[in-house]
Every structure is written in C-alpha cells, then in structure tokens.
Amino acid sequence: MNIMNTRSILCIAALSISAVAMSAVPTSATPPATSTTLGSAAAPKAPTVNVEKSDSQPAAGDKFDPSEIRQALSELLALKEGVGSNQQIQEKKAALKAAVERGIKQDPKSVIKLLFGFEQQIFKQGPLSMGPYITDEVTSFVQRYPELAIALIDQVPNEIGRSILVNSIGSIWAKSDPKAALAWANQQTDSKIKNEILVGVISSWAKTDLKGALAYAQSLPPGASQDDLVSLAFSQAAVEPRFVGNKYIINESRLGVQGAIAMMQSLPEGRTKDLAARGLSNFMSQAPTMAEPQAAMDIATGIGDSEMRSNAQANVLYRWFERDRAAAMQCMQSLPLGPTRDLAAMYISRDLSMRKIEDRQAAVNMASGIGDSKMRTDALKIAVQISADIWYRKDPAAAIQWMQSLPVGPTKDSAARGISSVMSYADPQAAMNMASGIADSDIRTDALKIAVEEWSWRDPASATQWINRSSLPEDVKTQLLAKAQPLPQNPPPLPIIVPPSLKEKSGN
C-alpha cells in the first residue's frame, strides 16, 4: 500500500471494513500451523508483546547496526532458494530472530525502517509514515516470526502507519497460514486494527482460494463489512498470474480475470453476485493491462441493485476518463439522465480540477452539468477549491488575483477557502485573515479551522490571541479556541495483541 504524500482537500479513502464477529474458517482454508480456534468464546485473553519504549532512541552506548539484520535476511533467502540444508536454514532463522530482538531493544524505529521501508515526513500533525515496501526477505521474516513483526507495530506512533503495517503483516501471514492470521485479527480490541488485518488477510487469501475467502465473508453478519469483503475478494481474485524472467509469481491469483468472472456468473442472482460484480468492475477499470474498459462497464451494468449499479458504473467511467477522455465521454453521454451520469460527472470534475490549471474551467463546466441540485452545488465548491489550491501552489499572485476578481458568492468563497488552506502552511496568520473574509459562514468556519490548526501547531499563544481579538461570532470563537490547543507530537498507540500460541511458537 502507498500513502499520498501531498495534502489535498479531496480525500480518497481506502477500503475500510467495520468491526465484525469472527466465525469458523471454512474447511477449504489451508490447515493451520497453530492450534488456534477461531471464534472460540473460551479462548484465553491474549497478552501484549512488551517492547521497551523510552523515546525510541538507541540505548546509551549501544548503537544499532542494521548490517546484522540485512545479512541474516539475505543469507536466509539465499539458503532457501539454493541448496542449503535444513540445519543451515534453522541456524540462519535463529540468527535473524536474535538480530531483530537486539535491534528492537536498541532502536525500534530503525528496525521498522529497515524491515518495512518506512520513511518519515513531517505533516502538520506530526510524523506520517510512508510505506511499507515489503521485500521477499521481509515476507520470509514475517511468515516465520509474526510475533516479532507484530511487536514492532507498537513502535509506530501514528494511526495511518500502524494501519498500513498491520494490513501488510496480515496479508503476508495469510499467504502461509490464513487461519492463524484471522485468529490474530479476532483477538484485537481495537476495531480499526482488526479491520485492517481482515482486509490484508482477504486480499491474499482470495488470490489462491476465492471459494474459501468468499465462504468466510458470507459467514459474517450481513452489513457493510460483509459487503466490502465480498467485493474485495473478487477484485483480488482477478489479479492475473505473472512471470518475472523465468520465475512464476505464485502469490498472484490462480483464477485471473476470466476465472473470477466465471465464478461470479455462476452465483445465483442476488446481493452476493452484485457485490462480486462491483469488485470485478472496480478492478478491471483500474488494471494497467485492461485494454477494453467497456468490459468493466458491461459487468457494472449487469448489477441488479440500482444504487450499487450507479456507483459502479460511475466509477468505471471515471477510471475510463483517465485513459481515454473522448471514449469515456461518449459512453457517459449515451446513458440516460440520472444518478449514474451525475456521479460520473462529479468524479470526473474532481479529477480535472486536480490535474492542470488549464483544466480548471473544464472541471467547473463538468460540475455545472450535474442534474441533482445539491450534488451540483457540492461538486462546484470542490472543483473551485481544488483548482484554487493547485493554482496557488504554482503561482500564488495569479491565483489570488483571480480569486479577488470573482463576484461575491459561492465561487469566490470556495476559491478563498482553497487558497487559504494552502497559505496556512507558510503564513497561517495571512490565511486566517483571508478565511475571515469569506461570506458563507460554513465555508468560513471550515477555512478558519484549517488555518488555526496549522497556526496552533507552530504558535498556539499567537493563534489564541488572534481569535480572542477577532470580531467572529462567539460560537465560532469557541470552536477555534478548542482547535488552538497544543497538539501532542506522538500520542501513545493502543497495544497490538499477540495470541499466546504465537509466543509459544516463537520459542521453537
């Protein structure tokens, strides 16, 4: 998974699965290497893995040396791919485990960076992890010593980084033991962590056993969680097998697009089939090798549920537009007026507003053609805000001049909101001044909150003073003063739970 490293008011949310009740894994799953029973009410409470945490800096007088872990990883992989004896492999595994344990005690953040490719970038609310980038060596490490990988999660201070890491560990672990990975998810008390593990597990499991992954998803209570897992399973099952040189990449799907489509078509009419079609059309509309987006559109068009069909069709049109604007527009215009065309126009308008300054007017025109009045108003606001945001980054003077030339009204307010949002990075006080001149009260308050958060990160006392002296309504002042409090650099993360069976297994 990758995290965007640029801030945008258009938030592209990752697939999120809500907390689910776990039940027994279907018999088609790979037999577990552990004795963990899923969904057992009598399962003992899992302890946490305790890793010493001071300020996450190397211990005094004991510097972390990454070469030891690198060497152990590379030697272990070489032995597995070569002619190493079982004894040699076991010795290298033990050496790797010992090296990681020493590294965790000395400098856990450096171990995280080394093993999972995390980098740090400073954003307004502290470090945001970028990564991870999982190599073959790391995959081997996680599959053999999941308890050590899990112990490292607790050293990632921010929520996004932790979510990415547990997702990746769940995905890797599921390749060798999906039952144990699901048991780990089931033992979590943090629903967000549990959800990310489930997404990772299903992503891997469905590539090699779609029937098993689907049966598991269908065993869950009906609702959004089950819906998203079913769609995810089919989208991942469609990933085509690949060769790199003479090496077959076995972690790709055994079915591929056509096999996944055939299984979808074999399902009885109903919600599960619709969800499968949603997942497949979404994958096919984004797949780099997809030569004919019309095939994705055809699958989306076959969805029985009208709301789901409109969303799936709009998503395909949006992705199609990214590749071939003329063909996508021709397809969209062939559809009757209604929800599908409106949704597609909204998605495309946002995309255009983020691309080039020259596309700014096209984005506004696309949003203006939306039939639904509320959706049209919202789409216009977003298109103008994003356009102003991007233009200001490239040419601040020209963007401000354009905004000031607009007549008083929603368009000018949205443009000022977009500019003040970017301005808050370099000059939060100037951003506050611009935001306070916005006529629409809701847009003004929203823009002020963004600016005051940035200002309070740097100088909470000055931000508080500005708010108190302003002529803003008292209710707005109250909201802004709450935002002006100093933010903690690294809030303590919740513990990640490791099943007892893993701790016992790690000693073998």
The larger pLDDT score, comparing residue 52 to residue 209, is at: 209
- The pLDDT, as a whole number, for residue 446 is 85
Residue 382, pLDDT above cutoff 50: yes
pLDDT average, residue stretch 98-102: 82
Q: Are 143 and 506 in contact (CB under 8 A)?
A: no
Per-residue confidence (pLDDT) for residue 290, from 0 to 100: 57
Higher pLDDT, 159 or 246: 159
Task: Say what the pLDDT of residue 276 is.
Answer: 97
pLDDT, tens digit (0-9, with 9 covering 90-100), for 140-199: 677 777 777 787 777 666 677 778 888 888 988 888 888 889 999 888 888 888 888 999
| Contact between 178 and 205 (Cβ < 8 Å) | yes
97 near 123, Cβ under 8 Å? no
pLDDT band at 242 (very low <50, low <70, confident <90, very high): low
Q: Give the mean model confidence (pLDDT) for residues 332-351.
A: 92
- pLDDT at 48 (0 to 100): 39
The answer to whether 491 and 187 are in contact (CB under 8 A) is: no
pLDDT category of residue 305 using cuts at 50, 70 and 90? very high
Query: CA dist 505 to 138, 145, 147, 498, 501, Å?
Result: 19, 9, 9, 11, 6
* Predicted local confidence at residue 252, as pLDDT: 54
* Mean pLDDT for the stretch of residues 34-62: 38
Per-residue pLDDT band at 4 (split at 50, 70, 90): very low
What pLDDT, in 10s, does the model give residues 362-371?
888 899 899 9
* Helix, strand, coil percentages, rounded to 5, for the chain: 65, 5, 30
* 422/392 Cα distance (integer angstroms): 7
The residue among 242 and 91 whose pLDDT is bigger is: 91
Which residue, among 250, 306, 261, has the nearest Cα to 283 in the 3D structure?
261
User: What's the confidence (pLDDT) of residue 289?
Assistant: 59
Cis status, amide bond into 132, omega within 30 of 0: yes
Task: Give the DSSP letter of residue 269.
Answer: S
The whole-chain average pLDDT of the chain stands at 75
What is the number of other CB atoms lying within 10 angstroms of the CB of residue 40? 12
Task: Give the residue extent of every domain in the chain.
Answer: 67-177, 209-331, 395-483
Q: What pLDDT was estimated at residue 190?
A: 84
